[in-house]
């Protein structure tokens, strides 16, 4: 083979090799870029789902039991006054001694 033909063949092979390397390198770079992009999208979707789960959690998590109604008020007003008058009458008539009267009066006032 003549020398010029060999050079052309070498150049053609070299060009093909370089072209293949460029294409392969570009494909690798594009693949890497796409993989990073998809990973970022997946992460954003995951974070959005987590945010929605926190925002729209079932109501039972946040439900508080209502406070129980307060106990009925101790006898007050005329009832207490009437009861104290009755105790005073029993004490005055001698049915209750001083200690019994004091204990019954304290019990009524305590509720």
Q: What is the pLDDT of residue 33?
A: 82
Q: Which tops the pLDDT comparison, 2 or 40? A: 40
Question: What tens digit of pLDDT does each residue of 51-110 get?
Answer: 887 776 655 556 677 788 877 665 555 688 888 888 889 889 888 889 988 998 888 888
| pTM of the complete model | 0.31
Tell me the CB-side half-sphere exposure of residue 2, using CA atoms within 13 A: 3
The residue ranges of every structural domain in the chain are 3-59, 78-110
In order, the DSSP letters of 14-63 are: HHHHHHHHHHHHHHHHHHHHHHHHHHHHHHHHHHHHHHHHHHT--HHHH-
**Secondary structure letter of residue 94 according to DSSP:** T
């Amino acid at each position: 083979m003549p020398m010029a033909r060999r050079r052309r063949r070498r150049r053609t092979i070299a060009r093909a090799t370089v072209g293949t390397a460029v294409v392969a390198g570009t494909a690798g770079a594009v693949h890497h870029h796409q993989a990073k992009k998809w990973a970022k999208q997946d992460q954003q979707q995951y974070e959005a789902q987590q945010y929605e789960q926190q925002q729209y959690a079932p109501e039972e998590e946040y439900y508080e039991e209502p406070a129980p109604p307060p106990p009925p008020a101790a006898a007050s007003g005329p009832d207490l006054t009437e009861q104290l008058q009755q105790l005073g009458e029993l004490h005055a008539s001698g049915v209750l001694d001083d200690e019994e009267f004091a204990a019954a009066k304290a019990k009524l006032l305590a509720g």
